[in-house]
Structure 1
Amino acid sequence: MTDSGQQTPAAEPLEVLACPDPVAAFFEAHRTDRLLALRTSGTTSTPRVIVRTTASWVDSLPRVSELTGIDATSRVWVPGPVTATMNLFAAVHAHWAGAELSAEPDGATHAHVTPSTLARLLAQEPASLHGLHVITAGDRLTRSTHRDAVAAGVTVSHYYGAAELSFVAWGEHADALRPFPGVEIEARDGELWVRSPYLCLGYLDPAHRLHRDAAGWVSVGDRGTAGPEGVHVHGRDGAITTAGATVRISDIEAVLHPEATGEVVVLGLDHAELGQVVAAAVTRQQDVAHLQQVSRQVLTAAQQPRRWVHLARLPLTAGGKIDRAAVAVEVARSLS
């Protein structure tokens, strides 16, 4: 039994990412009505193996085609590893739509990348992206990166989701998200809850429980707001305890992100007297003075970053997401 209370088929869930051809294995599992076992990225918590039906992905495929224009005439570039669920989904969708997968951006019509990868490509080789429709996910896509992409002749779509939830919200960038078709979203005490046909069934390990209520709403702990003005995602709950006060990283980043022209990562640094101090790493040096002013005006004294560090490029995980642990190492090294 999964933690949703639904009976699983007799066959064990297929670890599709361990198959020689994960895309072909996915469609064979769909044909035989077999469940999938997919490992989460583990960028904000210990990796877990989730269980989902193939239909929970397949039912969203027509919606993705409507939003992206991907069809049998498209060529789709997916440079990230297929071991990341967002990249596997992109390859599955391309196959379903009859599109061709491209090994490089030249000649491609669409691309699936993380926001950090998009920012790097725009800085290094913007001409290679001209004319592409780029779909980004996995991290927050800032207004500034979106503006840079549009200026380079790129059409941009951005979505928020999770391995457990699949698609949740869609828009041009992180500050323009609306619920994905067929998805209901609500915020309860600052935590986002989701109900949709695209949710997973639960975790493979019975010791792990998905946060699911009796009405079918699920949360993975992301902080944010949802309402007529749109969906705003602040990130997973993470805390810094400084001088006896506990502050949420997501609350601080929610204030700084919209004011920055580059990327911002907030973290806690060890301190001999205070326990930890709040620090912020930015990718654009010119953001520091403005963000310091915003911090003084909006944040409490405990929330205000006491250390500001400029990193020309934020380290990324193998899946193209910001590697917060590596950021902390680089920030500490730069301050030592």
Structure 2
Amino acid sequence: MAGRTGAGVTGPAGATADAAGAPVDVLAAADPVQAVLAAHRTGRRIALRTSGTTSRPRSVVRSTASWWDSFPAVSALADLGAGARLWLPGPLTASMNLFAAVHAQAVGGQVVDDVSAATHACLTPAVLTTALADGTALRGLRVVVAGDRLTRELADRAAAAGARVGHYYGAAELSFLAWGSADDDLRPFPGVEVEVRDGVLWARSPYLADGYAEGDGPFVRDAQGWATVGDRGGRTAYGRLVVAGRGHLAVLTGGATVLVADVEAALRAAGAGDCVVVGVPHPRLGQLVAAVGTDAEALAAARATGLPELSAAQRPRRWVHLDCWPLTAAGKVDRTAVASLAAQPRHPRAVT
């Protein structure tokens, strides 16, 4: 593998065909769940196409054992076992949903189409927000939220609606890294070691993927078995994991590179609520930093603080309120669509 990024780093984790043949493209199968189960029975590796919401889509290659080894811990944390009925409204093309469906079937549960028949659910924060707004009956459901940050405010709203909420952080390449009740309560997932190097999160566990079918990408593994996809974060004095976001998401403004994860963390600390930072075109500076949120009052309150902890380049110059987030097919916030909306000069909710 080609070297990259510094001493001790072996480079992008590349995947090669094993003795059992080329990895199975499970998303090309008529029934992806059965394709994964069949691959596990025959010892074949599987390939999972990523969504490409933060970079170009890639095919992540992994052994099925890297999923199966995590099943006991997931079953215990989600209280999901034989007889469970899982409501899974998101598409199986999202790895979190495919994993949830495979896990449910492997432990004797089943996926159901109707939330009223469910005992469990697996949702993104955006889909959970929609379910709460629509009055979807969540009382008594064990809801696992993943795919994006679950704020304490949203977790509390779901709990008030009667749901029992759990939240995990991970990546298609790394699988599980941490589990908790919300983003302020994440601790390393059972069997996972987490290390912070220069503000970047690295993990070592049995759940890592092998690499990409294309051979290159943000997934990097070192000689000691530690791996990263470039997510930024840290650890608190109490051992909790703080996740800031994917480090390569940046806005280039006036010659400065602004990492959106840093600005979003400052906005959350200032009480901005659910907020996304994007770059919008500017004729002289290249881009402006824009803060986009779904809570107009919280956004205004954060703006009023002046965000003194941010540099001049980092401070948002455009503030936009949206009634709801545009979503990708996987149920995640569509940052490209958010940036397009924020760039509209006559957006009715924009304040420049």
Aligned length: 335
The 1:194–1:242 alpha-carbon spacing in structure 2 relative to 1, beyond 3 Å, is same
SS at match of 1:182: coil
Cα drift, residue 259 of structure 1: 4.0
Instruction: Identify the residue that residue 173 of structure 1 maps to in structure 2.
Output: 182
For 2:346 and 2:228, the matched residues in 1 are separated by 37
Task: State the partner residue of 2:26.
Answer: 16
The one-character-per-residue Cα deviations of 1:274-303 (angstroms, maximum 9, x if unpaired) are: 221111111011112221134433212211
Pairwise CA distance, 1:229: 3.6
Note closer, same or farther for the CA distance 1:140–1:229 as it changes in structure 2 (3 Å cut): same
Distance 1:36 1:284, change over 3 A: same
Whether 2:68 is the aligned partner of 1:58: answer: yes
Q: Are 2:339 and 1:328 equivalent residues in the alignment? A: yes
Q: Matches of 2:345 and 2:156 in 1, distance apart?
A: 30
Structure 1, unaligned stretches of length 5 or more? none
Alignment-derived partner of residue 215 in structure 1: 224
The residue that corresponds to 1:150 in the other structure is: 159
Alpha-carbon distance, 1:207 to partner: 4.6
SS at match of 2:61: strand
Q: Deviation digits for residues 117-141 of structure 1, max 9, x if unmatched?
A: 0011111114x11111111111111
Structure 1 counterpart of 2:307: 296
Which residue matches 2:318? 307
Letter in 2 for 1:189: D
> Where does residue 72 of structure 1 map in the other structure?
82
Equivalent pair of 1:170/1:180 in contact (CA under 8 Å): yes
Identity %: 52
Which residue in the other structure is 2:350 paired with? none
CA distance in 1, matches of 2:252, 2:15: 38
- Tell me the alpha carbon deviations over residues 163-196 of structure 1, each in whole angstroms, 9 at most, x when there is no partner: 1011111001111100000001111111111110
1:182 aligns with: 191
Name whichever of 326-335 and 177-186 sits farther off: 326-335
Distance 1:229 1:334, change over 3 A: farther
Tell me the amino acid that sits aligned with residue 164 of structure 2: T
For normalisation by structure 2, the TM-score amounts to 0.90
Following the alignment from structure 1 to structure 2, what is the Cα–Cα distance between the partners of residues 116 and 189?
31
Pairing 1:233-252 to 2, within 5 Å after superposition: 233-237=243-247, 238-252=249-263
CA separation of 1:44 and 1:156: change in aligned 2, threshold 3 A: same
What's the CA shift for 1:317? 0.1
Give the corresponding residue for 1:49: 59
Matched, 1:92 2:99: no
Q: Which amino acid aligns with 1:196?
A: S
Q: 2:9 matched to which residue of 1?
A: none
Contact 2:281-2:288 within 8 A present in 1 as well: yes
Query: Which of 110, 116, 130 is matched with 2:120 structurally?
Result: 110
SS at match of 2:343: helix
Q: Residue 45 and residue 39 in structure 1: after superposition, are their counterparts in 2 closer, same or farther (change >3 A)?
A: same
> Within 1, Cα distance between the matches of 2:62 and 2:98?
14
Kept in 2, the 8 Å contact 1:203–1:209? The answer is no
- Please say if residues 16 and 213 of structure 2, whose CA atoms lie closer than 8 Å, have aligned partners that are also in contact: no
Q: Give the secondary-structure state (helix, strand or coil) at the position aligned to 1:112.
A: strand
Aligned mates of 2:39, 2:344 — CA distance in 1: 47
Q: Per the alignment, do residues 246 and 60 of structure 1 end up closer, same or farther by CA in structure 2, a change over 3 Å counting?
A: same
Further displaced range: 288-297 or 174-183 = 288-297
The answer for the alignment partner of 2:8 in structure 1 is none
| Aligned-residue CA RMSD (Å) | 1.9
Residue 266 (1) aligns with residue 281 (2):
no
Q: Distance in 1 between matches of 2:217 and 2:273?
A: 36
TM superposition shift of 1:59:
0.5
Q: Counterpart of 1:194 in structure 2: which amino acid?
A: A
Matched letter for residue 312 of structure 1: D
Could you say if the C-alpha distance between residues 296 and 10 of structure 1 is closer, same or farther in structure 2, counting changes exceeding 3 Å?
Answer: closer
Could you tell me how far apart the structure 2 residues matched to 1:282 and 1:131 are?
A: 30
With structure 1 as the length reference, what TM-score do the two structures score?
0.95
Partner of 2:330: 319
Distance apart, 1:206 and its partner CA: 2.9
Q: How many Å separate the matches in 1 of 2:345 and 2:324?
A: 13
Q: In the TM superposition, what whole-angstrom CA distance separates every residue of 1:30-87 from its partner, at most 9, and x where no partner exists?
A: 1111111111111100011111000000000011110011111321101111111110
The secondary structure found in structure 1 opposite 2:308 is helix
Q: Secondary structure at the match of 1:129?
A: coil
Aligned counterpart, 1:204: 213
8 Å Cα contact 1:191-1:221 kept in structure 2: yes
Q: Which moved more, 1:164-173 or 1:295-304?
A: 295-304
